[in-house]
Amino acid sequence: EKEPVKVLVTGAAGQIGYALIPMIARGVMLGPDQPVIIHMLDIEQAAEALHGVEMELIDGAFPLLRGVVATTDVAEACSDVNIAIMLGGIPRTEGMERKAVMSRNVSIYKAQALALEQHAAADCKVLVVANPANTNALILKEFAPSIPEKNITCLTRLDHNRALGQIAEKLQEHVSDVKNVIIWGNHSSTQYPDVNHATVTTSSGEISVRDLIADDKWLNTEFITTVQQRGAAIIKARKHSSALSAASAVCDHIHDWVLGTPEGTWVSMGVCSYGSYGITPGLIYSFPVTCQNGKWSIVQGLKIDEFSRAKMDATANELLEEKSLAYSFLG
Catalytic residues, by residue number, are 187
Number of residues that bind ligand NAI (CB under 6 A): 28
Give alpha helix (H) positions in the chain. 15-25, 47-59, 74-78, 98-119, 133-143, 157-171, 209-212, 216-220, 222-228, 230-238, 243-259, 306-330
- Least separation in angstroms between residue 167's CB and ligand NAI is 19
Measured distance CA(126)–CA(81) in Å, rounded = 10
DSSP letters for 211-238: HH---HHHHHTHHHHHHHTHHHHHHHHH
Name which of 154, 153, 177, 156 is nearest 165 in CA terms.
177
Applying CB under 6 A, which of residues 9, 16, 21, 167 lies at the interface with ligand NAI? 16
Burial of 133 (0-12, 13-18, 19+ CB in 10 A): buried
Q: Which of residues 283-302 bind ligand NAI (CB under 6 A)?
A: none
With contact defined as beta carbons under 8 Å apart, do 296 and 271 qualify?
A: yes
Verify binding: residue 251, ligand NAI, rule CB under 6 A.
Answer: no
- Least separation in angstroms between residue 39's CB and ligand NAI is 12
Applying CB under 6 A, which of residues 5, 6, 21, 42 lies at the interface with ligand NAI? 42
Verify binding: residue 193, ligand NAI, rule CB under 6 A.
Answer: no
Nearer to ligand NAI, 14 or 185 (CB): 14
Nearer to ligand NAI, 29 or 87 (CB): 87
- Least separation in angstroms between residue 129's CB and ligand NAI is 5
Nearer to ligand NAI, 95 or 301 (CB): 95
Binding positions for ligand NAI, rule: CB under 6 A: 10-11, 13-17, 41-43, 46, 87-91, 108, 129-131, 133, 155, 158, 187, 241-243, 246
